[in-house]
Structure 1
């Protein structure tokens, strides 16, 4: 029978590496912790992997298609009507469609029953390979990027992960501590978000990566079964922590939560992100301060590149995960080009542009992107970290960026600001006190169309929780609407026309 091992809660061996199965009373490495408990967990394909199954008598119920993920080490064979086939491809995927099928794997024969229309992923000799990007050895199909349309430097496409597809350009709502503030995960998904960002620094301090892993991983913990990208924690260490001491080895700091001392290295950062179950892992880097001299930026860049290489070694091509490098170099074109080249020599699944939106101003940011993006590979996704305002997103997309994250939509919502097609509205202002118009009727969201500006003004002035909830909801809806508009415009070759219309609308409120 595929997936052997003890299910009596008294141990058993991990089939992937020979170490003990982690957890209690679950099938093999499908233990309560969902991961291998062996001594060399990083080298084991089951290490830190959450599982979407539990022991339930004679069956293992599963969720929707996006959740059909099993380790080849845990489930070797299934019967799919044409003889025994491997349960997964190397990506750990079972079902590759959006049919919503719900399989039941029965103990006797591991026979899956799928709803009508489910398109099973066969073995490699049995299926069409449509991934347009060559993957590192051992991860074919696990992570890929397909460019579907171009308009100048801008491009729209799809990032493929084992947990689902990400339409690009994409905006990632920020779930700092395992939650997008004031929002339910299902509501965030309904707005059009394909991926969230989790914060390594905050989660490592509270509740801890190890606890999240024991509870089934971040996806299970926060009830978000779709892709998650986690940052490395480096930026927060530099900006939030006290008594920092940085060395070649890593960063020692004291927690802003309880003052406890922590040591974050490239290896530990990767390990934390894998314990969380992140789909896209970011390397640990030093965010170059602004302003910085060329010499300071060059020294910071060199350290970040050494740390990037260590992160790649620690990552060890973990099955089901992707690793992104981060381009640094301040506002200096020669350093940005050098960083991009060195990262490509190391080799990553995607490339982020870091060290921007730190006070340099929009034009300097755009100039730096103009000097950086041409040095990044065409067949990999590009991620601009921590950006930003709607005009920043538009300008960066027009320069070839695919992914963004920023706390601005929810943070601004909590302080009474709304992003609209007519610019930014400050709901604290008295001019909204008797305004019965909605925030933005063009946005298909109840918060945008069903509540008057007067009511929202009242909620904000009264410091009612509902005000922060509705404005956060609206702002995230507006950001996802903006990304959808840009994807459609790129496909139609009309991004310049969209940009002109957007800028005209944003300027309207400032007259």
Structure 2
């Protein structure tokens, strides 16, 4: 089994090592998220195919984070996944004639976010659920078996993520379930008979996934789990803090959460319990390392690359390819030394060639290769940052490194000032180092850590915020049951848009991207949103309680739910469709397109836009050429 141990400490941060069967991870470290299953074979994956190659070959990669359920993004069948599960992922790539093998430690999460809203991967039949063709269920045994089949060196326990603004009762219930899951996982890994049945020779390191949106939440969570683990005398290696990505622009909250976890760990155990944070990278990492975080993971390096953005080596801002000047002196990292910038600019900014290699001065390459080169640069920059953090700890200079990042009124400054409220000694040390502008004054904020019950009443400000519930079902809202509803009689176009996480839908960035372009036609169309849970939702009903408070994302894996949405939309069209001269839909989501196209087929008419998107992903929703296509169609429809 893997193990974490502290090697050296700065006054705040620490240097450590995680021993795994695949080698050591020197901490603090950033593990890149990589889609290892990007299709049916190791050759699949588009950008990921080339990005993986760079990661496998890089000396900077200490380990790779794989998200358990990402195979759902690539239209695999249950049989395809069964082929991947026949042997560890590393073995697939070692035997591939396309990809180099990789030997770095593999950290596999539990897939909690993908499973959160799934109607396919529920409880197993013996626990009251329904059987599915994948044989994967939202219970500790099923997920642990999947992680072991992948060949994980480190795993995170099955968690129930807590979305922002989830009502307090459901948040508490989900935290308790996550703790139960962690305990059950540890018990299974200490059951010789079960491990023998599963043919497991070496068990992975276990990181207990924890969630919470405040110091008190996380402190309660960690304390409660430690009480359970101590009673059972079960070993684990660390805690992994989740639900943090939405808080990446709230460094004060991040600081509170990390501090809450750290303060709940008894001093005598602190040196052998690691702290991991999911989904965080960039400027905040040195600050969080100062507070005791040991490992991070992120896919931001590749997300930025998809937008043709390099992380700037000094400002850490995303810099578009067409904004980079003086390339020869721009960076100089390992990745950039291999980039032929003129060929890249031609391929990504000028060429209209799709799905074919593009000839350049230095050879012929797919666009995906150039995107992967940008991702490689971004990751190497993050890796260099982690090396700087490790060096700073070795030389008692981590606080000074963080203070340098905190200049110019940025989010690191806000987080550092929050950290001083937990650790007042930081004020004096920052002043001694000459960073008086970063010192939080006594009147900056009154703060007193409170190790109170998680069940304290929510304050008035919180009560005014929109709260959500994960217990809503399809029958909580159905527009076909609203006898008083009638579409406006003067609208000749029915416009169908996919729902959004932000509520009401009409205020969301996705809806506004389209609606703002249709101001000249606002009296001529009737918009309905297609909810992945409820089906059609007219604009006037967007603010009813079940619509405002649900949280659900439709995926192609939830076939029954896709059928339900399609059925409800078809029924809506049967009842109201003849009132409209034109029925138009706009979405770049595969699941929503599938449901809408099925409904159109049953009803007999309806047009889908964009007609041929470059890819079925969210970035295409905002592409001007795609929105132009819809606007032009509405314009011609109104003069026909």
Question: TM-score, normalised to structure 1's length?
Answer: 0.62
Q: Secondary structure at the match of 2:246?
A: coil
Partner Cα separation in structure 2 for residue 450 and residue 474 of structure 1: 10
Distance of aligned partners of 1:491 and 1:307 in 2 relative to their CA distance in 1, 3 Å threshold: same
Corresponding residue for residue 145 of structure 2: 271
440, 445, 449: which one aligns with 2:331: 440
Distance of aligned partners of 1:310 and 1:209 in 2 relative to their CA distance in 1, 3 Å threshold: farther
Corresponding residue for residue 45 of structure 2: none
Q: Secondary structure at the match of 1:172?
A: strand
Distance of aligned partners of 1:169 and 1:426 in 2 relative to their CA distance in 1, 3 Å threshold: closer
Deviation string, structure 1 residues 82-116 (Cα, Å, up to 9, x no partner) = xxxxxxxxxxxxxxxxxxxxxxxxxxxxxxxxxxx
Distance of aligned partners of 1:459 and 1:498 in 2 relative to their CA distance in 1, 3 Å threshold: farther
Corresponding residue for residue 62 of structure 1: none
Q: In the alignment, is residue 195 of structure 1 matched against residue 86 of structure 2?
A: no
Corresponding residue for residue 299 of structure 2: 407
How far off its partner does 1:369 sit? 1.0
How far off its partner does 1:336 sit? 1.4
Corresponding residue for residue 352 of structure 1: 240
Corresponding residue for residue 423 of structure 1: 315
143, 154, 176: which one aligns with 1:280: 154
Q: In the alignment, is residue 233 of structure 1 matched against residue 118 of structure 2?
A: no
How far off its partner does 1:461 sit? 1.9
How far off its partner does 1:260 sit? 6.9
Corresponding residue for residue 454 of structure 2: none
Whether the 8 Å contact between 1:294 and 1:332 is mirrored in structure 2 is no
Whether the 8 Å contact between 1:388 and 1:405 is mirrored in structure 2 is yes
Corresponding residue for residue 182 of structure 2: 308
Q: In the alignment, is residue 343 of structure 1 matched against residue 225 of structure 2?
A: yes
Partner Cα separation in structure 1 for residue 211 and residue 237 of structure 2: 20
Corresponding residue for residue 479 of structure 1: 382
Whether the 8 Å contact between 1:178 and 1:198 is mirrored in structure 2 is no
Corresponding residue for residue 215 of structure 2: 333
Q: How many corresponding residue pairs? A: 357
Q: Secondary structure at the match of 1:182?
A: helix
Deviation string, structure 1 residues 395-431 (Cα, Å, up to 9, x no partner) = 2111101111111111211221111322345554654
More helix by share: 2
Distance of aligned partners of 1:427 and 1:295 in 2 relative to their CA distance in 1, 3 Å threshold: same
Which moves more between the two structures, 421-430 or 286-295?
421-430
How far off its partner does 1:503 sit? 4.4
Q: Within 5 A, what are the aligned runs for 1:44-55? A: none
Partner Cα separation in structure 2 for residue 253 and residue 483 of structure 1: 45
Q: In the alignment, is residue 495 of structure 1 matched against residue 398 of structure 2?
A: yes
Partner Cα separation in structure 1 for residue 26 and residue 128 of structure 2: 35
How far off its partner does 1:362 sit? 2.5
Distance of aligned partners of 1:163 and 1:299 in 2 relative to their CA distance in 1, 3 Å threshold: same
Deviation string, structure 1 residues 325-363 (Cα, Å, up to 9, x no partner) = 435342133331222123333241222112222347232
Corresponding residue for residue 224 of structure 1: 102
Whether the 8 Å contact between 2:311 and 2:318 is mirrored in structure 1 is no
Q: Secondary structure at the match of 2:245?
A: coil
Partner Cα separation in structure 1 for residue 92 and residue 244 of structure 2: 31
Distance of aligned partners of 1:249 and 1:208 in 2 relative to their CA distance in 1, 3 Å threshold: farther
Partner Cα separation in structure 2 for residue 292 and residue 150 of structure 1: 37
Q: Secondary structure at the match of 2:305?
A: helix
How far off its partner does 1:488 sit? 0.8
Deviation string, structure 1 residues 433-467 (Cα, Å, up to 9, x no partner) = x64445412x3x1x324547666444432473333
Partner Cα separation in structure 1 for residue 119 and residue 330 of structure 2: 40
Partner Cα separation in structure 2 for residue 254 and residue 412 of structure 1: 39
Whether the 8 Å contact between 2:54 and 2:376 is mirrored in structure 1 is no
Q: Within 5 A, what are the aligned runs for 1:285-304? A: 285-304=159-178
Q: Within 5 A, what are the aligned runs for 1:85-104? A: none
Partner Cα separation in structure 2 for residue 253 and residue 486 of structure 1: 48
Q: In the alignment, is residue 461 of structure 1 matched against residue 343 of structure 2?
A: no
Whether the 8 Å contact between 1:439 and 1:451 is mirrored in structure 2 is no
Distance of aligned partners of 1:291 and 1:405 in 2 relative to their CA distance in 1, 3 Å threshold: same
Partner Cα separation in structure 2 for residue 505 and residue 211 of structure 1: 52
How far off its partner does 1:172 sit? 0.9
13, 30, 43: which one aligns with 1:171: 30
Q: Secondary structure at the match of 1:367?
A: helix
Distance of aligned partners of 1:388 and 1:234 in 2 relative to their CA distance in 1, 3 Å threshold: same
Whether the 8 Å contact between 1:290 and 1:359 is mirrored in structure 2 is no
Partner Cα separation in structure 2 for residue 437 and residue 249 of structure 1: 63
Whether the 8 Å contact between 2:6 and 2:15 is mirrored in structure 1 is yes
Corresponding residue for residue 380 of structure 1: 272
Distance of aligned partners of 1:487 and 1:218 in 2 relative to their CA distance in 1, 3 Å threshold: same
Distance of aligned partners of 1:495 and 1:409 in 2 relative to their CA distance in 1, 3 Å threshold: same
Q: In the alignment, is residue 394 of structure 1 matched against residue 297 of structure 2?
A: no
Whether the 8 Å contact between 1:351 and 1:380 is mirrored in structure 2 is no
Q: Secondary structure at the match of 2:5?
A: strand
How far off its partner does 1:277 sit? 1.4
Distance of aligned partners of 1:338 and 1:327 in 2 relative to their CA distance in 1, 3 Å threshold: farther
Q: In the alignment, is residue 320 of structure 1 matched against residue 198 of structure 2?
A: no
Question: TM-score, normalised to structure 2's length?
Answer: 0.50
Q: Within 5 A, what are the aligned runs for 1:64-75? A: none
Partner Cα separation in structure 1 for residue 129 and residue 338 of structure 2: 49
How far off its partner does 1:185 sit? 4.1
Partner Cα separation in structure 1 for residue 170 and residue 387 of structure 2: 39
Partner Cα separation in structure 2 for residue 251 and residue 353 of structure 1: 30
Larger radius of gyration: 2
Deviation string, structure 1 residues 205-235 (Cα, Å, up to 9, x no partner) = 6676642343x31111122222111111222
How far off its partner does 1:490 sit? 0.6
Q: Secondary structure at the match of 1:183?
A: helix
Structure 1 residue runs without a partner (length 5+): 1-141
